[in-house]
Amino acid sequence: MIQVSNLSFSYTKKPFISDMTFSVSKGEIFGFLGPSGAGKSTLQKILIGMLTTYQGSVKVNGIECKERTKSFYEEIGVDFEFSTMYEKLTARENLEFFRSLYQKKGRPINTLLEMVGLEQDADKRVSEYSKGMKSRLNFIKALLHDPVLLCLDEPTSGLDPTNSRMMKNLILAERAKGKTILLTTHNMQDAAELCDRVAFIVGGKICALDSPHNLIMSRGAATVTYTWLDNGEHSISCPLNQISSDEQLRKLIAENRLQSIHSSEPTLNDIFMDITGRTLL
Amino acid sequence: MRLRGLFLWDIRFQAKYGFYFLYAVLTVIYTIIILAVPENWREKTATVLIFSDPAAMGLFFMGAIILLEKSQHTPCAFAVSPVRPAEYIISKVGSLATVSFVVAAALALAADVTNLCIVLLGTVISSTIFTLLAIIIATNIISLNQFILWVVPVEILCFVPAILHLFQITPGWLRHYPLNVCMEMLAGFTPSIAGIFLVMVLIVFLFFLSKHCVVKMWNGMGGVKL
Ligand SMILES: Nc1ncnc2c1ncn2[C@@H]1O[C@H](COP(=O)(O)OP(=O)(O)OP(=O)(O)O)[C@@H](O)[C@H]1O
Ligand SMILES: [Mg+2]
């Protein structure tokens, strides 16, 4: 679906995105993670053909982004990190307007509104919408013309837990339909749950690219942390797969002196800290 | 197909924002003014009124419309849609030219002008020029204040020679100045070939420049404060 090779780009003379190579296959959810200002949105803008002054090759849906024509967008749905609706029109009018821009017939508006629980508010003006309602509306706007590639910039930000859950289910449902999805997020839990693969971007470079599972495993085993009282509180951590050889722990268990014991599995969050911490040093 | 859709939606937006109501009221007021002046002054009054409002309304209204769109980030939505910049511009120019046409027709009929066809053709041409100018200005700026700052000099350059021309105060080298040619048409005179040619050159130039500016705005993604 997407092949990027030796991509370089900069807004200024100073090199920014340099020599990136990766590919995304059809039906995959691909996440871009990284600190603020790392170039995630910039990379997305290149992939959707909004920045065309790059070096190297970027092929999306078989088309070199530099040479795209406007019909390229018949098959791409973009959900920006901000609302792009006419505030004075109702949600339904906005959706009708944006659907009229595509050649394809697209999906029925009512079904889309029901999907995100906005059917009751469909005839309200967008200016009366809350932040979360706006992000749900902008999400279905990206689905209107039933594109094969979805580009979502922070789709769960500003949503309450219920709506965030619903949004994630909708994203997974799109993948089940065979859509390819590019996703940026600062929420590592969402990324771990949704993405088939993630790329960590720091300072315009890809520092790690793998499935969340592999990245987490590569960091090493889970640890166990336990505390006990002995002239004040003491606390020790040891790897989960070596606890049988921890004499101290065995002794504490035998004497029933443990105050607390926790196991902690590494998460994508730890990977994020490791990677960004390492490169920020 | 898409162009027709865009055009109809532009009309709908303008209606929603109370634009047609405003122009209905203005048309009534202008008509009263025309009917109030002595009969031998009516045609000139109508010419000045048509030039300064229905013909030039694009300069302000298109600026306002585009700034409003920018403040709502809709240019980003256009950037990632199949809409071509030319379609966007033609639809915007066409929708305002339609209003200009209707209002100018009402005023021209009230004044009982001698050459209705030329007057209306002149209106559509002037409206096109002013709307294109507004698109070029509004796509390049980020606030209402900045817009006003840019519109004033453009207005002086467009209005002063044309108004003087109507009263036959024109230096020879401004004989075929496109806005003067527009004014001639609004006054009911058939323009010269050279004049019409220069007007067409200007429109083509402004169209391509506005296309360039629209692409820059769509892909620029910048927000705007009003
Ligand atoms: N239009 C622009 N012109 C010049 N520089 C820009 C432009 N847009 C972004 N930048 C710069 O490029 C860098 C990367 O920005 P980008 O928006 O890609 O970051 P990001 O990874 O998406 O960050 P965030 O997580 O905060 O959304 C920043 O330093 C930013 O200042
Ligand atoms: Mg971003």
With a cut of 70, say whether residue B221 has pLDDT above it. Answer: no
Q: Check residue A278 and give its pLDDT.
A: 64
Measured distance CA(A114)–CA(A170) in Å, rounded: 12
How many C-beta atoms lie closer than 10 Å to residue A105's C-beta? 9
**Tokens matching residue A223:** 């640890």
**Best mutation site among B80, B217, B218, B226 for testing chain A: the one with the most A CBs within 10 Å?**
B80
Residues 29-88 of B with CB under 8 A from A: 69, 72-74, 76-77, 79-84
Ligand 1: which of A8, A9, A10, A11 to mutate, most ligand atoms within 8 Å of CB? A11
Residue in the block written with tokens 């505030």: A87
What SS3 state is found at A199? strand
A74 → closest Cβ in B6, B13, B82: B82
CA of B54 to the centre of ligand 2 (A): 43
ipTM field: 0.87
For residue A224, the distance in angstroms to the closest alpha carbon of chain B comes to 48
Q: Check residue A116 and give its pLDDT.
A: 92
pLDDT (tens place) for every residue of chain A, 281 residues total? 899 999 999 888 888 888 899 999 999 999 999 888 888 888 999 999 988 889 999 999 889 988 999 999 999 999 998 899 999 999 999 999 999 999 988 899 999 999 999 999 999 999 999 988 999 999 999 999 999 999 999 898 888 999 999 999 999 999 999 999 999 998 888 998 999 999 999 888 898 898 988 888 877 778 888 999 888 888 888 888 888 888 888 888 888 888 899 888 788 888 888 877 765 54
Put simply, whether A243 touches B (Cβ < 8 Å) is no
- pLDDT mean over B36-53: 90
| Bridge partners, A239 (sequence order) | A223
Instruction: Name A251's Cβ contacts closer than 8 Å, sequence gap at least 6.
Output: none
Ligand 1 contact via A90 beta carbon (within 6 Å): no
- pLDDT mean over B136-143: 90
Ligand 1 contact via A38 beta carbon (within 6 Å): yes
With a cut of 60, say whether residue B222 has pLDDT above it. Answer: no
Closest CA to A91 of A137, A140, A155: A137
Q: What is the pLDDT of residues B61-103, one digit of tens each?
A: 899 999 999 989 999 999 999 999 999 999 999 999 999 999 9
What does each C-alpha distance from B125 to A167, B30, B60, B95, B180 come to in angstroms? 50, 21, 16, 13, 12
What number of residues does chain B have?
A: 226
- pLDDT mean over B212-225: 74
Q: What is the mean pLDDT of chain B?
A: 90
Range in A69-78, B161-170, B199-208, B214-223 with the lowest mean pLDDT: B214-223
What does each C-alpha distance from A45 to A4, A13, A29, B76, B215 come to in angstroms? 13, 19, 17, 11, 14
Question: Which residue would you say has higher pLDDT here, A248 or B108?
Answer: B108
- pLDDT mean over B29-37: 93
With a cut of 80, say whether residue B25 has pLDDT above it. Answer: yes
Distance of CA B1 to the CA centre of its chain: 24
Q: Check residue A13 and give its pLDDT.
A: 84
Q: Check residue B226 and give its pLDDT.
A: 38
**Tokens matching residue A38:** 């790392």
Contacts of the segment A263-267: beta carbons below 8 A, 24+ positions apart? A263/A222, A263/A223, A263/A224, A263/A225, A264/A222, A264/A223, A264/A224, A264/A225, A265/A216, A265/A222, A266/A216, A266/A219, A266/A220, A266/A222, A267/A188, A267/A189, A267/A192, A267/A216
CB pairs under 8 A between A and B: 66
CA of B203 to the centre of ligand 2 (A): 39
What does each C-alpha distance from B223 to B76, B136, B217 come to in angstroms? 10, 17, 10
Query: Which residue in chain A has the smallest CA separation from B74?
Result: A84
- What single-letter DSSP state applies at residue B189? P
| Bridge partners, A264 (sequence order) | A223
Measured distance CA(B158)–CA(B178) in Å, rounded: 9
CA dihedral over B65, B68, B74, B79, signed as positive or negative: positive
Question: pTM of the predicted model, to two decimals?
Answer: 0.87
**Tokens matching residue A9:** 């780009």
Query: Which residue in chain A has the smallest CA separation from B76?
Result: A84
- pLDDT mean over B38-57: 89
Contact B42, A34 (CB under 8 A): no
Measured distance CA(B12)–CA(A171) in Å, rounded: 33
A71 → closest Cβ in B16, B74, B82: B82
Grade residue B225 by pLDDT with cuts at 50, 70 and 90: very low
Measured distance CA(A186)–CA(A32) in Å, rounded: 9
CA angle B161, B162, B166 (to 5 degrees): 115
Domain ranges, ordered by start, for chain A: 2-211, 221-264
Burial class (CB in 10 A: 0-12, 13-18, 19+), B154: middle
What does each C-alpha distance from A193 to A186, B51, B171 come to in angstroms? 13, 63, 75
Ligand 1: which of A8, A9, A40, A47 to mutate, most ligand atoms within 8 Å of CB? A40
Q: Check residue A101 and give its pLDDT.
A: 93
Which residue minimizes the CA distance to atom 8 of ligand 1? Answer: A42
CA of A39 to the centre of ligand 1 (A): 6
Contact A194, A172 (CB under 8 A): yes
Domain ranges, ordered by start, for chain B: 2-223
> Quick check: B81 and A82 CB within 8 A?
no
> Quick check: B6 and A71 CB within 8 A?
no
**Tokens matching residue A21:** 């190579």
Task: Of B35-39, B137-141, B172-176, B203-207, give the range with the top mean pLDDT.
Answer: B203-207
The CATH architecture that domain A2-211 belongs to is 3-Layer(aba) Sandwich (3.40)
Put simply, whether B114 touches A (Cβ < 8 Å) is no
> Quick check: A98 and B84 CB within 8 A?
no
CA of A30 to the centre of ligand 1 (A): 20
Distance of CA B184 to the CA centre of its chain: 16
CA of A132 to the centre of ligand 1 (A): 24
